[in-house]
Structure formats: structure tokens, C-alpha cells
Structure 1
């Protein structure tokens, strides 16, 4: 569809981009283009009204990517396009022919417009803006783009550039396979401003290409292709090219034998090569390459043989602006769940349960974006990551909407899962900050406290006894209790055992702090509990070498504090 070979010419200036790069942009969608694509691939026996199904899922994808679509419907059909419409109807309507132009029953694209009206009804149920142009839909899309009301046109029709569009988004894809699936959908972005800046190829040359090579409105000039046209365009400016085409018809075509094939001026080429050209102001040869003049003469001689050349009606169709839109409302209104279920049940034969599942994400996304409460979220179930986008899985309290589904369809259905959607965490945090804070708090793991290192062994730790229990031999304290207190203080096992042995010696318990004899060197029971007799072997290494062994040893008292430090 559109101008022949234009997409091929603009391919070097095309960039394949993921759909998320259109986030926040306003785009004009040529609705007829999407319908035509669906009609070409649809088998009516498998899926009735495939165009409605495809339109819904494509639109949902744009909305969930936060792209603002404006859908443009066809207006009055240009009579220039009758042959093209006849060819398309052969595919879309199983060979039905359009009514003949000028007849009393002529109503334009009546059948196709009926299809567009169904699409418009569904889009309005979804809360989206639809406008109808006075002529072609791609013309209105181009006007909106040229006026800066939208950022680009979603269309398969290259006519958009002839009507004045700057940016066209083509090959819209939400495929679940390949590159599109990996990036979450993709689209080709064509910006003719890059072509104008690089090779001087702008709107006027696009129209000239349509005249020479063919478009939806004409078949072009027989024998002229894009290569010869582009070769000639390289030697003509954007501003003068349309007038140059008009001059071809007005002025007589020169005899190739009587003009120079290099510069196009009077005089044979051989003479100009030897003596130069007076009009080119050269003494030898000419200022223009031989191929450019020969190419233009060849194209011109073929073009003027066409009766309608230079197709002023086509030039007028592309350049004359039929619509004047000063302001565009792209506001997304509230979607209507009830009407959507009724519509899809009637036209798509969807069950109410299926319609509910497909429409709920659109309704919840509208709630998050528009700050309007239709129903509240119950809770955040868990965190999700969808194609690299941090998200929350949310359970919604939408019992009133569930009532729209027949009870027999809800048998065995998990209602919590049915009323759950996955939403970007940024939108949820902005709309319901308290709920997000509560969820994050519930997911925090308790801080693990590091185990304290045991305190260094000190004498105070083991001897932190009540001093009031200690006295001389005349005190009436129960000394057995004092011994028990010392044992309970967590002393080393070897000391505990020693104390227990001493405690069993009833004769010494009563004199716990008194030496058993008058010997000053003798120990009382308290002192003995804090000393440990260690056997220290003699220096017998040399004796062993001589074969003599000695079992002698030395006795040494090791104070408790010293033992504790070693432990």
C-alpha cells in the first residue's frame, strides 16, 4: 500500500526499536491499516471478526506500555482510489466489488466503513479517542504529525510521507517469538527528516516518486523505476522538482540528436566536448555529467506520453489539506467492563469469564494512571520481574465486577487469582504508597545478631562471691554453703572436682579458712581449692639416651589465676 518502492528507498533511514521506547508518546493509528492486515490473514470460520480481536490485543499492548493512541478512521474515499479499493475488496470481502463511482447507490466504502464502526464502538468502550478525517485516514494521521499534535503515525501506508508526515511507525509487532518477544514488542521507525538532511529527499520528491513510479492513485510512468528516478532526483532540488515535472509537459521535448547529452544545451555532444559550451561558460566539455542529462531525457520522453501527466489531481490530493485540527484530546477515559463483556460476547463469541480476564488489566492500569478509585487493591501478593521491569502482583477487591460472570463459569475458579494483575512497582508505589510500605516491611528479614564472644577468663568471674559469708573460725556460717557457692560459679571442671573432694572431708569443712595445723606453710581448704599440684618431669632426656630412665618428678603449685589465663 502507498507509493511504490518508497519503503525500500527509506530503509537506510529506518531503525528497529522496542515498543517501550514509545512510552509517553502520542501516536496516531491508521485504523484501516490494522483492519486490512487482519482481513488478509483471517479465516472467518476459525475466528469471526478477527480484526476486532487483533485490534483489542494490539491496543492493550500500547496502553500497558503507556503509549497514548489516537485512532483515525477513513472519511470520504477519493475517486482516484477506486481501482485500489476494488483490489482490496477482492481479499477482504471474498471477491465483492465496490459499487461503481457516480451511480445512485455509490456510498464510498460502505462495507469497510461498517467494519470500522464496529472497531470504533469497541475502542470507545475502552475509553479511547477516535476521530474521522474528511479523506484518507493516513492523510489525517499525517496532518496531526505535521502539526505536532502527535509524535508519529502508526501505519503501513507510505502515503503518509506524501501527505506531510515526519515520522511513521511501521511493522508493529507484539509477537511471542524472536526479537519482538525478547524486547517486549518492536516497531520500525522511519523519519524522513533524516533522508532530507542526508540525500535531500523530502516530501516533494516523495510526491514526484508517486507520479513517476506509481501509487494507490496511479500506475506511474511505464518503464520508469526507482533507480532512474532517484538518479535524476540527485540533480534536482527539493523545491524545484514539482515545477520541473510540469515544465516537461509544457515545453517541447528536445531532439536528443540536436542537444548535448551532457548539459542539455543546444549543440552536439562532440562539439561541446571539443570546444566547450557557451551556456555552460566552458571552453572544453560541459559542467554536467553525461548520465544525468541522458537519464532525464529518457524519463521525460516516457512521461509526456502519458495522457494525464503530470497528474495534477494527485499532487493536489497530497498537498491540499482537507482537515484543520488545532487541538487534540488524547485523554484516556474510564473503560467500561460491563459494556465490554456484552460487546465481546456478541461480536467475538467470548465467554464472560474470558472477557473479564482480558479486560481487568486494562481497568486496573487505568486506576493506577488516573488516580481514580473504582475498586481497591486488597494486598500485594509478591514481587515480580516482567522483562526487566520491577512489578507487583496485586490482589484486587472487585467482587462487584465478578458478578457480571455467570455462576456456572465460576465453578472451580480461584477468585483470588482471577482478580489478580501484575503492575509496575513505580505506579503502585505512587498510587498506593502505604500498601507498598506495609508489604516491604513484612518481607524484611530479622537482623541476625552475632554471637557474643565469651568474656576473657578472669578471677573475678569465678570468685564473685558475697563477702559477708566469709569470716573467722568463730563465725556460725554454714561453710558447706560457701563451698557450694564456689562450685556453682562455673569454675573449670578440675577445680570443681577438687572442691567436691575437699567438701566430703568433714573434718576440714569446719576449718575451711584455717590451716589444719600450726605449720605456717600448711594450706587451709580455701587456699587448696585455688592451687593445683602439677607434676613437672625431671631433665631426663640425656638419661634416656644412655638407657637409664628416672621416674623422679618435681611438684609445683600452679595458682588458679595462671591456669585460667592459659585456658
Structure 2
């Protein structure tokens, strides 16, 4: 999806991997269609309504685990150009002749009704979460890129590479949550520095190799050829040059003028400037031999580096490059209706939404918890206790953020409140606080502090394409003696409950001081009273567990008296096996 010709492979060397806190307290625009399509096929046979399940868990993880502020964007009216491209793609994959499936210019093919229903259900779910959902006038990645370009969001989550053509500055293509660097990120600044390409260059490449709105592109031009061709022009002139070539005006070659250039003669023996006869009379200055011995024989593969040869080499390279460029220009000139100005104007459009002022409608509202629980229970057939447990990290994050702003909030309608910090834990190289939330004294009954029912209709061995980012256990909440345990960001807990953090730090330092002062017990020392509680905590060595019978036998032999002594004296001449049998008698 996006630009054809393995466009992402060209950008891959300039990808960054960012850590857990990359999106912390940042706004991120999400192409909702990308989320729905990405893994729906992978788990379609394993769960009910996978689009709702994926959107539910991804939203919770993105908001609570990574601390981002999501802004969801849906597609608007599809472009007629993309409709034709979808029909062409369908005919190619199905083996249907495109001529038997005529589509006139300007015809808009509506999107799949079943897919639109999935999108609508996800929108209803997100609105119950309180998340902002925007509808683009055309392509969703276009509005995501506009929000990123205008600074309203800090990044875009999409796999459509043409988001860069719409003007995006930062794109997150892949999420790997269970790693130290979960985000595969592409910055436009890195692409400009590495490839020397700017936005208009990328649009020109998309026109040459094909895109979602024109699958053909220019016949005979691949990604490498398009890359080398557009880099020969500046950003301001590249699109104008393509328009000139499409109208039949080929590039003028200023170097076609016949200029008589004299090439200095070179010696056939040593290869240096000068004739062989002149070198025979007077030895070449470049050869290391004396004047009386003459020039040396040039080695195999010798190339002269004089100014004349260097200039001749540059001229040949320039002629070769100009000839290659002319061949590309001829291919572009023979392509009908190239370039398509509608595609260019669509990519350069600065307004992909029907709103006049974009700032007010990006707002996060309070979550409608009970309606959300009823909605998921109806659509996914989940138990309310299961839903509340999975929602708890989302609610705890909201509570901590509100407390950091000195805003009182009721966690699950006042059922729980902040208790203490249990300990620190490291998860995939990221340090977190394990926070305990205790049951409020005003709570009459508790529906979440029971053993939660397992998620129905989800098998353990799902398709490998299902990312672990979408699994339910990522947002698992642990229950301990009526308290709920969640993993929270250290800075967020510090901002919300600084006194609790200070208390935890002091207790931790006190424990470390006591552990340094207390001497460690020596396991090799056997306590006098082995039955005492203190002696039970001392680990015995292996000799104390498994006593050797050899020592006991020797003591018995000593106590036996003279008869055994005589036997030992008489058995000195026996073999080792005979002496062993005597001891066993």
C-alpha cells in the first residue's frame, strides 16, 4: 500500500528504533483502517469480531503502557483514481480481464459495506473510550500527515508509505512492544539527509513507479532508475520537468556542440604522456628508471592519471549519463497522460478534512465505563469482570494523570484507591513501579477482585501474524489479597504521589542498609541445636546430608580389638578386591 516498487525497502536503512518513552505524553495520529486490516485475517477464525478485540487491547496498551494520546482517523469518500486502482488490483489477483470490467472516468467505487460496518463499530468503541475520532475528506493517511505536518500530532501510525507524500514528518510503521525498542520509526529528516530526497522528489518517484492511485506508473522504469533520475533535479523543478517531458519536450543537451579536443599522445610502452620515439631518445620523467635504460613496461590494467586522461574519462561518463537520461526521458514521453495532475494536486493538498479549524475537535473526553462494558459484553460475549480487569490499567493511568494535575478522580466509581508502591521491576529493559491499589472502605461489593474469566473463543495457537501487542495478557492485572497490582510509569507516579515515592525510597534504602550490616551465615558451620528454628534456616553442606559409611567402618574396626587388627595385619598381602570381601564378612 502506498508507493510501489518496494518503496519501504529503499527507506529501511534510515529507520530508527525508539524506546518505551518515545510516545510518552505525545499525540499520535492513527490510521484506523490500517489497524483493522493489519491482523483481521490472521485471527479471523479464532475470535469473535477481531476488529473490536484488536482495537480494544491496542488502545489500552498505547494509552497506558506507552503513555501516548491517540487520535484516530477514518477514511472519507474514496478518490475515483484509487477506485480504478482497486479494480485493477482485483482483476490482476483474480485473473479477470480488465477490458471486461469497464470503469469510466470519474466513477467512484464505494468501499466494502462489511468493512465500513467494522469501521463504524470501532468508532463507537473508541467514542466510549473518550478518544477523538476524525473523519478525513479523502484518504485517512492524508489527514494523519496533515496533522503531523502542522504540528498537531507528533507522529503517525500507518503502513501507507504515501503518507510522506502527503507531508508527514514522522511515521511509525511497526510496533514491537515486547522489546527494549518497540517502535520502528521513519523520520523525514533522516530520509532527506541520507537519500537527498524531499517531498516533491518522493511524489515524482511515486508517479514514475506507480502508487495506489496509478498502479502502472511508467513502463520500463523501476525504483532505482526513478531514484537516480529525480535526484538529478532540485525539489522546485522536478515536478515541472516531469510535466515538460510528459508533454513531449525532451531535455536539451547543451553538451551536443562539437568541440574539437586534442588528446595528448601516450607512449605504448609505459603508458605515460609522450610518444614512444621521444621516450626512446629521452627517458620518461614519470618512469623510475634512469635515462640510459629507457621506459619501463606498463603493468596489466594500467590507467594513466594525467589531466588529459582524467578529462577524457569525465567526458565519457557525462556522455554515458546523458544518453541514459535521454532514454528515460523517451520512456516518459511515450507514456500517455503523464503525469496525472490530479494525483499531484491530491498529494500537495493542504486540507484533508471538512473542518475549518482543526484545533478544537482534537479533545479527549471522559470514558463512559458502564456503557463500554455493556457494549463489549454484547459484541464480544465477555464477562463484565473480565472487561473491568482489562480496563483497569487504562483507568489507573487516567487517575494518575489527574492526580498529577491536582484533579480528584474516582477509580472505578470509587471502588479502589492508591495504596503503596510494592517494588520496582524491569520489563524489557524499562524500569517500572509495581503499584498496589487497595479496595476502598466505602465499597460495598467488588466485582473485579475475583478470578477473572478467560477470554472466550481465543485459542492459544493463533496465527504467527498476530502480534503479541494485541494479546490480552499484555494488560493483565494481578490480584493479591483483594488489592490490584499494575505496572506504572515511574515519572507519572512521582508526579501524582510524590510522598508515596519518598516513603518507598526511604524504606528501600533502610532495607539495603540492614542487609549490608547483617553478616551472612556460613553454611559449613553445623549449629549445636539442629532442632532450633535458627538452625533450620542454615543450609547444610553435602557431607552433612550424605554421611560416608567409610568413616563409620573404620571406627568399628578400631573398637573391635586385636582380632580385627590381626586380620588387617594378615590381609596386607591380599589384593584390593579380596580385602573388600573380608571387610564385608
Normalising by the smaller structure, the TM-score range is: 0.5 to 0.7
Structure 1 segment 320-331 matched on structure 2, within 5 A? 320-323=349-352, 325-327=357-359, 330-331=362-363
Say yes or no: does 1:420 pair with 2:462.
Answer: no
Relative to structure 1, the CA distance from residue 46 to residue 23 in structure 2 (aligned partners, 3 Å threshold; closer, same or farther) is same
Relative to structure 1, the CA distance from residue 288 to residue 402 in structure 2 (aligned partners, 3 Å threshold; closer, same or farther) is farther
Shift of 1:290: 2.5
8 Å CA contact 1:273–1:286 kept in 2: the answer is no
Say yes or no: does 1:196 pair with 2:197.
Answer: no
Relative to structure 1, the CA distance from residue 293 to residue 394 in structure 2 (aligned partners, 3 Å threshold; closer, same or farther) is same
8 Å CA contact 2:30–2:158 kept in 1: the answer is yes
Q: Secondary structure at the match of 1:384?
A: strand
8 Å CA contact 2:386–2:452 kept in 1: the answer is no
**Which residue number corresponds to residue 248 of structure 2?**
251
**Which residue number corresponds to residue 15 of structure 1?**
16
Shift of 1:139: 0.2
8 Å CA contact 1:149–1:328 kept in 2: the answer is no
8 Å CA contact 1:221–1:302 kept in 2: the answer is yes
Say yes or no: does 1:383 pair with 2:412.
Answer: no
**Which residue number corresponds to residue 39 of structure 2?**
38
**Which residue number corresponds to residue 312 of structure 1?**
341
Give me the whole-angstrom Cα distance separating, in 1, the residues matched to 2:32 and 2:18: 21
8 Å CA contact 1:99–1:106 kept in 2: the answer is no
Q: Write out per-residue CA displacement over residues 20-72 of structure 1, whole angstroms, 9 at most, x where no aligned residue.
A: 222122111111111110223232x3112222222222222221221111111
**Which residue number corresponds to residue 213 of structure 2?**
217
RMSD: 4.0
Paired residues in the alignment total 421
Say yes or no: does 1:136 pair with 2:139.
Answer: yes
Relative to structure 1, the CA distance from residue 32 to residue 288 in structure 2 (aligned partners, 3 Å threshold; closer, same or farther) is same
Relative to structure 1, the CA distance from residue 333 to residue 437 in structure 2 (aligned partners, 3 Å threshold; closer, same or farther) is same
Shift of 1:13: 2.0
Q: Secondary structure at the match of 2:337?
A: coil
Q: Write out per-residue CA displacement over residues 504-549 of structure 1, whole angstroms, 9 at most, x where no aligned residue.
A: xxxxxxxxxxxxxxxxxxxxxxxxxxxxxxxxxxxxxxxxxxxxxx
Give me the whole-angstrom Cα distance separating, in 1, the residues matched to 2:30 and 2:319: 46
**Which residue number corresponds to residue 126 of structure 1?**
129
Moved more, 15-24 or 394-403: 394-403
**Which residue number corresponds to residue 176 of structure 2?**
173
Say yes or no: does 1:154 pair with 2:157.
Answer: yes
Moved more, 425-434 or 65-74: 425-434
**Which residue number corresponds to residue 536 of structure 1?**
none
Q: Secondary structure at the match of 2:47?
A: coil
Say yes or no: does 1:238 pair with 2:238.
Answer: no
Q: Secondary structure at the match of 2:164?
A: helix
Q: Which has the higher contact order (CA 8 A, sep 6+)?
A: 2
Relative to structure 1, the CA distance from residue 288 to residue 62 in structure 2 (aligned partners, 3 Å threshold; closer, same or farther) is same
TM-score, normalised with respect to structure 2: 0.63
Structure 1 segment 294-305 matched on structure 2, within 5 A? 294-305=323-334
Relative to structure 1, the CA distance from residue 361 to residue 99 in structure 2 (aligned partners, 3 Å threshold; closer, same or farther) is farther
Query: Unpaired runs of 5+ in structure 2?
Result: 264-310, 454-477, 518-585
Q: Secondary structure at the match of 1:162?
A: coil
Q: Which of structures 1 and 2 has the bigger CA Rg?
A: 1
Give me the whole-angstrom Cα distance separating, in 2, the residues matched to 1:418 and 1:294: 76
Q: Write out per-residue CA displacement over residues 450-509 of structure 1, whole angstroms, 9 at most, x where no aligned residue.
A: 9xxxxxxxxxxxxxxxxxxxxxxxxxxxxxxxxxxxxxxxxxxxxxxxxxxxxxxxxxxx
**Which residue number corresponds to residue 370 of structure 1?**
402
Q: Secondary structure at the match of 1:379?
A: strand
**Which residue number corresponds to residue 60 of structure 2?**
60
Give me the whole-angstrom Cα distance separating, in 2, the residues matched to 1:123 and 1:46: 23
Structure 1 segment 512-523 matched on structure 2, within 5 A? none
Shift of 1:206: 0.8
Query: Unpaired runs of 5+ in structure 1?
Result: 175-180, 277-282, 451-567
Say yes or no: does 1:395 pair with 2:437.
Answer: yes
